[in-house]
Structures are given as C-alpha cells and as structure tokens.
Amino acid sequence: MTGRRSFLKTTALAALAAAGLPALGASAAPAPLPVRRFGEAFVVNGWILTARDLEALRLHDT
C-alpha cells in the first residue's frame, strides 16, 4: 500500500503542478480541477483516472 499511496501522491502533485496550482496541503485552497467523463474513465488535466483515483485525490466528477 505504501507504493500505491506514493504513486497517488505523485500523480496528484504532477496534476496540480501542471495546472499551476499549489500542492495538496498548502495553505491556499486549490481551485477545483475540471473532470471530464468518458464512460468509466475520468480525465483530469489529461490524466486518465478511475473513480477510485478521484476519491483518493479528492477530486469530483463535475
């Protein structure tokens, strides 16, 4: 599980950094990232994610 948590954190940081947003846990509240749905896949800032990824990254299907 450590590897998976590390991976998800990496993914989240990469997604936020690419969007020019502060990292998770930073003082400023991040603006919500647009989530596009394609069937069972969710695309956030270009990353193809699962519903479990959204939950782990605290992102929401908009």
Partner 1 sequence: MILDAGTAERSAFAEPFDVCIIGAGPAGITLARRLASAGAGVALMEGGDLDFSNDSQDLYTGRISGLDYFPLDAVRLRYLGGSSNHWAGACRELDAHDFEPRPHHPWSGWPIGKEDLDPYQGEVARILRLDGGNFPDPPLRRDSDDFRRILYRDSRPPLRFGEAFHDEIAASDAIRLALNANLVDLRLDDTLGTVTEARFRSLEADDPGFAVRARAYVLCAGGLENPRILLNARSQIPAGIGNQHDLVGRFFCEHPYMRVGEVVFEERFFATEYHAPTPDFLDAYEVLDFNLQLLADRPRTRQPLSLPKEVAREAVCVAPFTERLAQRVVGNTLSCADDLGLRAYFERREMPEDFSGFAAIQFEQALDPSNRVRLAAERDALGLQRIVLDWRLDDLDRRTMRTAVLHFGMLLADQGIGRVRVTDWILEDDFQAGNAAGDLSGSYHHMCTTRMSDDPRRGVVDRDCRVHGTSNLYAGGSSVFATAGHATPTFTILQLALRLGDHLDETLLG
Residues that bind partner 1 (CB under 8 A): 3-4, 7, 10-11, 14, 36, 38-41, 43, 45-50, 53
CB of residue 30 to partner 1, shortest distance in Å: 18
CB-based contacts of 43, cutoff 8 Å, min separation 6:
35, 36, 37, 49
What is the closest distance, in whole angstroms, from the C-beta atom of residue 61 to partner 1 in the complex?
Answer: 15
Q: How far is the CB of 27 from partner 1 (least distance, A)?
A: 26
Q: Are 27 and 21 in contact (CB under 8 A)?
A: no
